[in-house]
């Protein structure tokens, strides 16, 4: 938590008291990756200086470079590359750090270290195809253009593409826009199990009690996920103020 929140003073204190620098959260994410994911430069530096491993993979196969790239964090990217992290390391879907890149800096560092613009993921998408989203928005593409189910790009992105979700929100995407079933991006993020997307949406003011046409809230959708994944996302929502007694039509 201290790494994610960027509380470097607390982080130093915890490490001095013997906290495990290699500990993982419930998604197997290391403190260093959390600091990279949220752009916490000082906390990131504290962890590196204290001996944090640079390349442990989380449950999605992502390492700290992948998260630093997803924020376009030039300083973090440079530090990791100086430490020798593998620029070509793929996640579970075959996406490399270059594929996750977003921002106005950092990309030249990755390319200078040999990152491949044409390296496809498991679905055949190259980093260049992901950059197309940013390019289209820069050229005036309708950010709220829906698909056949009335789902916007934000609704689709929150099911796992945290970096694109952040980009869309920064560009003014409507966070409460509902699809044909009355579901918001937060509802879809809850069902998909993307904790990073949940935090991102809630930090940007998403309504945690918003219900769809069947009266189901994000918590209801999170609870429908089987196993530990459902418990994890439900826990996030409860910590952020979800009402466990809020009724839905299915009850």
Tens-digit pLDDT profile for residues 119-173: 887 767 677 666 667 767 777 888 888 888 889 989 988 887 777 888 889 889 9
Q: Which residues of the chain have pLDDT under 70?
A: 102-106, 123, 125, 128-132, 135, 246-251
d(CA 79, CA 134): 25
Structure tokens of 10? 């607390």
d(CA 65, CA 100): 9
Is 0.85 surpassed by the pTM of this model? no
Residue 130: predicted pLDDT: 67
d(CA 46, CA 15): 10
d(CA 78, CA 44): 12
Residue 103: predicted pLDDT: 61
Domains assigned to the chain: 1-123 (1.25.40.20), 142-251 (1.25.40.20)
- Alpha carbon 38 to chain centroid distance? 9
Residue 74: predicted pLDDT: 84
């Amino acid at each position: 938590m201290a790494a994610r929140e960027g509380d470097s003073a607390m982080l130093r204190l915890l490490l001095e008291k013997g906290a495990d620098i290699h500990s993982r959260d419930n998604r197997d994410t290391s403190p260093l990756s959390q600091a990279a994911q949220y752009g916490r430069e000082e906390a990131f530096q504290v962890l590196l200086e204290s001996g944090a491993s640079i390349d442990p993979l989380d449950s999605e196969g992502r390492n700290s470079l992948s998260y630093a790239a997803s924020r376009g964090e030039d300083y973090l990217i440079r530090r990791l590359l100086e430490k020798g992290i593998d620029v070509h390391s793929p996640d579970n879907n075959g996406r490399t750090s270059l594929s996750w890149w977003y921002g106005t800096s950092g990309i030249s560092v990755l390319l200078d270290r040999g990152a491949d613009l044409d390296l496809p993921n498991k679905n055949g998408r190259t980093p260049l195809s992901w950059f197309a989203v940013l390019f289209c928005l820069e050229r005036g593409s309708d950010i709220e253009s829906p698909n056949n189910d009335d789902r916007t790009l934000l609704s689709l992105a929150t099911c796992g593409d945290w970096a694109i979700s952040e980009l869309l929100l920064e560009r003014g995407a409507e966070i409460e826009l509902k699809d044909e079933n009355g579901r918001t991006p937060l509802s879809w993020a809850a069902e998909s199990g993307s904790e990073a997307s949940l935090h991102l949406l809630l930090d940007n003011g998403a309504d945690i009690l918003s219900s769809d046409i069947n009266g189901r809230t994000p918590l209801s959708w999170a609870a429908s996920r089987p196993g530990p994944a459902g418990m994890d996302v439900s826990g996030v929502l409860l910590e952020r103020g979800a009402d466990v007694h809020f009724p839905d039509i299915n009850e």
